[in-house]
Structure 1
Amino acid sequence: MKSRRRSTLPKYVSVEVDAKTGKSYVYFRRRGRAKVRMLDPPYSDEFNAQYHRLLRDEAPSKPAERADVVDGTFGWLVAQYYGSAEFKRLEARTQRVRRSIIESMLKEGVAAGGRGIAFADVPLEKMNGKAVRTLRDRKAFDEDGERTPEAANGRVKALRQVFAYAVADDDIALNSNPARDIPYLAPDGDGFHSWTTEEVRQYEARHPIGTKARLALALLLYTAQRRSDVVLLGRQHVRDGWLVFTQQKNKRRKPIHMQIPIVPALQAVLDRSPLGDVVWLVNDLGRPFTANGFGNKMRDWCDQAGLPHCSAHGLRKASATLLAEAGATEQQIMAMTGHTTSKEVNRYTKAARKKVLAEQAGELFKGHKM
């Protein structure tokens, strides 16, 4: 027997709780149509796509094809890539971001200043390393002259994927990947600022337990997850004191299944906080946050606490740093964060490791007399 209840979900969507197992299921139920189970967490990109298809009573749409491309050009290759399995298996948000990056390159002119023939019309044999480097370097600085290596590297990453598809595809059979050996630009500093213990305490003093702001901090800090995962966490993910879920990043391509303990500090905040029905964190309208919406709200909460340089992602770094300072191994940290290689973990924790090593080195001076 299942009990059904409505919450802050979109129209026609409801949650059903199995009385025997206690598990929650989300369904799209519209009069005159069969009930459809929603396959992804509410308000995720995949959920929204399925929901709007059901509203329109449509089958999944196919990627739009470019009607003005010439065979054998870069624009033609991109059209093939959009229709490929490699592109389709990307997460919906990743598809949108990659399309945006690629489309901006297609429209640019080859000549200096972005004039002349567009890159979309360049023959594939002329899309060489020089062309890739040109496209990268045009995004190395913004209009104010500030370095923007992330934007430049985003282009290189997208081009590597497009040309990798062309090399592997038997019908295209490109001889080599011209973007493969074009290096990424070095990032500025260490990326997002990692919160210090003092900054966490300052935030907590401004946002006491019982506020959404404090709940957000606790979820980010004590789970070490990205904001795209934190906004979807809820009671349906709790199993005997553990959080069991699949990370949103690369969920369709390379899913990372997580099992992390609900530590006492997090449980204490959950017990004393207002929680949503389906997800714990909800916005002022009682609906789940989008990842970007949550990032913006976290920005407001940080500003209110006098921490304009802090961010949601910086708490993920802080969590890894705290674990490193406590003596956690790389494998232990990776088990919490979901990283599959130690490269990113090392970038997060190198300062903490240096501090621990310096402390150990300092011990060697104890007892030394001049």
Structure 2
Amino acid sequence: MWHGRFPSGNVRFYYRPKGHRGIAMPDLPPDDPVFLNAYAKAAGVRPRHPSRVDSIASGVELYEASDQFRVLAQGTRDARRRMLDDVAERYGHASRCDLAPKHITKDLSGFSAHARNNRLKMWRGFCKWMVEQDDLPRDPSDGLKKSPTTKSDGHVPWSHDEIEAFCAHWPLGSVERLAFELIYWTGARVSDAVHLGPGNVEREGWMTFRQQKTGGEVWIPFNRELPEFAEPAGPDLALLKQAIHARNERQMTFLHTQKGTSRSSKAVSQWFAAKARKAGEASRTAHGLRKARAKGLAEMGGSAPQIGAWTGHESLKEIERYIKDFSKRRALSRAKEEHEVPTSTNKFQIEGKSGA
């Protein structure tokens, strides 16, 4: 609100939150940066630096609106946008042309390990765009190296015993069991599994979808003959179909809410981990089922490209490691049964049914 004028002729403005006394704004025009900062401070908003045409802040705005940024997966865009907005907040007033490796190095010094590497990925994407689309003469992120990180298996693949324990605890007909069977058979990330439904099964019997994270297409046998190497996994597919039929529901997605809407991937990840704990598997996750499927296909004799087409892995390094590990175990094993392909027969017999 305003009340009168200053001797300078500028209008006296006050910011007056509901139920509080008014806060006087400075003796300046309302479009002055100092006035705007004062207004934002009174409103509890952290102001951005005014964006000059050549500023880093304006570059961030242009990059976030670019095709190069918009083709990134939604989760990647969200994470990168938070980092880019932080960069605009910290350094937005600086000129893009003055950006040098030392500036990025100093920014990265506030982070460590994976957080630093993720921040470096953001800088590389932003700098690449500035070179290609913004006529930046050189890439200031060139030559900057990733931080060494401790090697970790992360999400651990489920063992056969853990799979049997979960299935014994959560029977067919439960949504917990349906979630398990769907993720285990498809090897899908939770971000994709929550969107899968009858509409993803095409006429030729493939279950197909485009991945949220990478944009790549995945093709999984569903209502068709399995590839020869995957035939031992037939009981797993039969159990998924039984789990779907046991729910006897017709909705757009298999893992829908009680209202028929799709679940959020974050909520399902946390929910599934809690259900695994109830089944006695405290450290197992939905993503571990994805790894278990890739590992299982490798142990059945699938090649890296075959497994990658099923699971949607763009990098085949992890799959090749599963294949190599199993080959080593088999080469050193004397027991005949350890040379044979492991199957889900025991899990299948829990239900007292057979067939595909």
TM-score, length of structure 2 as denominator length: 0.69
As a proportion of its length, which structure holds more helix?
2
- The Cα shift of 1:333 comes to 0.7
Report how far residue 90 of structure 1 moved: 3.2
CA contact (8 A) 1:127 1:178 kept: no
Which of 247, 258, 262 in structure 1 is aligned with 2:218? 258
Q: Check conservation: 2:74, 2:213, Cα contact below 8 A.
A: no
1:68 aligns with 2:50: yes
CA contact (8 A) 2:155 2:287 kept: yes
| Aligned-partner Cα distance in 1 for 2:103–2:266 | 33
| 2: CA distance, partners of 1:210 / 1:180 | 55
The equivalent residue for 2:15 is none
Runs of at least 4 residues off by over 6 Å: none
2:324 paired residue number: 353
Q: What's the counterpart of residue 334 of structure 1?
A: 308
Higher normalized contact order (CA 8 Å, seq sep 6+, divided by chain length): 2
Question: d(CA) in 2 for partners of 1:321 and 1:134?
Answer: 41
CA contact (8 A) 1:244 1:257 kept: yes
Stretches of structure 1 that go unaligned for 5 or more consecutive residues are 1-65, 108-117, 141-148, 365-370
8 A contact 2:49–2:92 mirrored in 1: no
For 1:29, the equivalent position in structure 2 comes to none
Pair 1:361–1:280, CA change in 2 (3 A): same
Of 296, 301, 317, the residue aligned with 2:291 is: 317
Structure 2: gaps of 5 or more residues: 1-47, 223-236, 336-356
Query: Which amino acid is the alignment partner of residue 261 of structure 1?
Result: P
Q: Residues 73, 344 of structure 1: CA spacing in aligned structure 2 closer, same or farther, 3 A cutoff?
A: farther
Q: For residues 331 and 352 of structure 1, what CA distance do their matches in structure 2 show?
A: 12
- RMSD over aligned Cα, in angstroms? 2.5
* Count of residue pairs the alignment pairs up: 273
State whether structure 2 residue 71 is matched by structure 1 residue 84.
Answer: no
Q: Is the 8 A contact 1:213 1:301 kept in 2?
A: yes
Which residue of structure 2 lines up, in the alignment, with residue 100 of structure 1? 82
Mapped to 1, the partners of 2:247 and 2:323 lie a distance apart of 32
1:244 equivalent in structure 2: 208
Distance change in 2, residues 1:210/1:363 (3 Å):
same
Corresponding position of 1:231: 194
Partner amino acid, structure 2, of 1:189? S
Q: Superposition pairs for residues 1-370 of structure 1, below 5 Å?
A: 68-107=50-89, 118-125=90-97, 127-140=99-112, 149-169=113-133, 171-178=134-141, 181-239=144-202, 240-251=204-215, 256-262=216-222, 263-346=237-320, 350=321, 353-363=324-334
C-alpha spacing 1:325/1:137, structure 2 compared with 1 (3 Å): farther
- Amino acid paired to 2:181: A
Shift in CA distance, 166/154, structure 1 to aligned 2, threshold 3 Å: same
Q: Which amino acid aligns with 1:155?
A: R
Q: Which range moved further: 329-338 or 84-93?
A: 84-93
Residue of structure 1 equivalent to 2:32: none
* Cα gap change, 1:362 to 1:296, in 2 (>3 Å): closer
Asked which structure has the greater CA Rg, the reply is: 2
Distance 1:267 1:333, change over 3 A: same
TM score, norm. by length of structure 1: 0.66
